[in-house]
């Protein structure tokens, strides 16, 4: 049994990862709203208890999980530890004495409670002492409605506001000024300001290495010479090659030795990570993690459909699908400057072909757009369970790799 869920990051006001919301469905054939909230939550708890732990899926960050009145009554929230879950009371739950008693008891036991898609009613004031987070869907709430919530909660200084469906940096900045503490949405995965700029020598060297490693046959001499021109990159390569994850018995001390022992697959992953991390150090780590997840997912799926997609370029294409957001520049401008194979550039620019469809698939999973996810999976003729398994594997791998880079 697989864990069918997408995770969406929740960032703090400094764009650092605070938590993930887990967006669940029963399977790729059982689409919301056919699965009601009670069943969705119970399946989520079942999966976390008996299949894959919540902490494995969220990298030990708290998980925001939706709860209905019924699932709260059944005690499902208490099957998870207070430190690993934020109990998100769905907007469909009506404020009443029963819910108030449940919130009091969960608060007493140390659980963090959030109100989802909050629309202000004075009756919610009775709940404020036990609520830590109020989530506001900024796409369906007017500015006046948001200000009303801010006014209603201003005397309850322990309550923090979370803006969801934040899609642009302009929205993020406006809400930041209004006092919001947390932000959910894909504003961080889009270019902040699209502009044209010159790539640094280090970025060009990295791009040159990415191009070299996308070739079927590696030219070790060419790759070694590029590394030798960049002391910092050489140091990071040796550190990576000697890291504990490879369990080496003997220390690797030269660039060529590291290249031979790592092999093309590991070298390609190392370079992809380094390019993403060093391209724009001011970007949120979660953006880099998202790019790495796409890269690994594309590589894993490409291995299943070798006749459709070249495995050797799938990783790099998935990684570079977010390079416009990382560099804050248009994809067209970046592709003109980078020495990359046309097989990598074309799907990123034209959005056509199997590789572009694969990138679209992982985007849909990220957004938990399950209806369209199913259509793309069928178009690519993928095994549905395998696709979900690959996404989970890619998330775990990206978490591990970005932790290593840090």
pLDDT at 34 over 70: no
pLDDT at 45 over 70: no
Pick the last residue of a domain from 154, 189, 224: 189
Pick the last residue of a domain from 127, 161, 189: 189
Distances (CA, A) of 314 to 127, 305, 336: 50, 11, 20
Residues 171-218 pLDDT 10s: 999 999 999 999 999 998 888 766 666 667 777 777 778 777 767 677
Tell me whether residue 269 is in a domain.
yes
Same domain, 245 and 347: yes
Q: Up-side HSE of residue 207: CA atoms within 13 Å toward CB?
A: 19
- Domain count for the chain, please give it: 2
The pTM of the full predicted model, rounded to 2 decimals, is 0.80
CATH number, domain of 150, equals 3.20.20.450
Same domain, 97 and 139: yes
Question: Which domain covers residue 144, as residue numbers?
Answer: 5-189
Same domain, 182 and 206: no
Helix (H) or strand (E) holding 271: helix 255-279
Tell me whether residue 39 is in a domain.
yes
- What is the C-alpha separation between 295 and 312, in angstroms, rounded? 11
Same domain, 170 and 247: no
- What is the C-alpha separation between 97 and 283, in angstroms, rounded? 45
Helix (H) or strand (E) holding 19: strand 17-24
Tell me whether residue 194 is in a domain.
no
Same domain, 98 and 212: no
Same domain, 154 and 268: no
Same domain, 148 and 287: no
Check residues 200 and 252 and name the one with the higher pLDDT: 252
Tell me whether residue 172 is in a domain.
yes
Tell me whether residue 195 is in a domain.
no
Same domain, 310 and 391: yes
Tell me whether residue 212 is in a domain.
yes
pLDDT at 405 over 70: no
Same domain, 177 and 206: no
Can you tell me the mean pLDDT for 25-54? 48
Give 123's DSSP letter: G
pLDDT at 362 over 70: yes
Tell me whether residue 104 is in a domain.
yes
Which of 67-71, 310-314, 366-370 shows the lowest per-residue confidence on average (mean pLDDT)? 310-314
Tell me whether residue 273 is in a domain.
yes
- What is the C-alpha separation between 147 and 144, in angstroms, rounded? 5
Most confident segment among 69-73, 143-147, 316-320, 337-341: 143-147
Same domain, 72 and 100: yes
Same domain, 42 and 149: yes
- What is the C-alpha separation between 157 and 301, in angstroms, rounded? 47
Same domain, 344 and 282: yes
Pick the last residue of a domain from 161, 189, 217: 189
CATH number, domain of 349, equals 1.10.3210.10
Can you tell me the mean pLDDT for 99-120? 96
């Amino acid at each position: 049994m697989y864990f069918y869920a997408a995770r969406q990051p929740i960032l703090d006001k400094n764009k650092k990862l605070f938590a993930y919301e887990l967006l669940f469905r029963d399977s790729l054939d059982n689409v919301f709203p056919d699965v009601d909230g009670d069943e969705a939550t119970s399946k989520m708890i079942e999966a976390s208890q008996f299949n894959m732990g919540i902490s494995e899926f969220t990298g030990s960050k708290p998980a925001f999980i939706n709860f209905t009145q019924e699932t709260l009554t059944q005690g499902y929230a208490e099957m998870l530890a207070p430190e690993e879950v934020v109990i998100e009371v769905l907007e469909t739950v009506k404020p009443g004495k029963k819910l108030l008693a449940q919130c009091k008891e969960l608060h007493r036991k140390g659980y963090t409670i959030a109100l989802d898609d909050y629309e202000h009613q004075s009756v919610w004031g009775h709940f404020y002492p036990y609520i830590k987070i109020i989530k506001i869907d900024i796409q369906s709430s007017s500015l006046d409605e948001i200000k009303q919530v801010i006014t209603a909660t201003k005397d309850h200084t322990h309550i923090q506001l979370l803006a969801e469906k934040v899609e642009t940096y302009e929205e993020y900045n406006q809400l930041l000024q209004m006092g919001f503490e947390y932000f959910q949405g894909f504003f961080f995965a889009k270019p902040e300001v699209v502009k044209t700029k010159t790539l640094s020598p280090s970025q060009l060297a990295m791009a040159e290495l990415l191009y070299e490693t996308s070739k079927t046959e590696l030219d070790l001499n060419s790759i070694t010479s590029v590394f030798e021109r960049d002391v910092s990159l050489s140091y990071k390569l040796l550190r990576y090659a000697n890291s504990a994850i490879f369990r080496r018995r003997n220390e690797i001390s030269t660039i060529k030795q590291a290249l031979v022992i790592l092999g093309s697959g590991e070298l390609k992953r190392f370079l992809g990570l380094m390019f993403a991390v060093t391209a724009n150090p001011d970007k949120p780590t979660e953006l880099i993690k998202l790019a790495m997840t796409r890269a690994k997912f594309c590589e894993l799926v490409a291995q299943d459909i070798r006749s459709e997609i070249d495995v050797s370029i799938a990783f790099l294409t998935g990684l570079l699908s977010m390079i416009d957001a990382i560099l804050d520049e248009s994809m067209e401008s970046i592709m003109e400057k980078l020495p990359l194979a046309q097989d990598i550039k074309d799907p990123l620019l034209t959005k056509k072909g199997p590789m572009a469809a694969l990138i679209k698939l992982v985007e849909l999973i990220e957004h938990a757009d399950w209806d369209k996810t199913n259509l793309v999976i069928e178009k690519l003729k993928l095994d549905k369970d395998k696709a979900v398994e690959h996404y989970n594997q890619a998330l775990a791998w990206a978490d591990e790799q970005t932790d290593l880079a840090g």
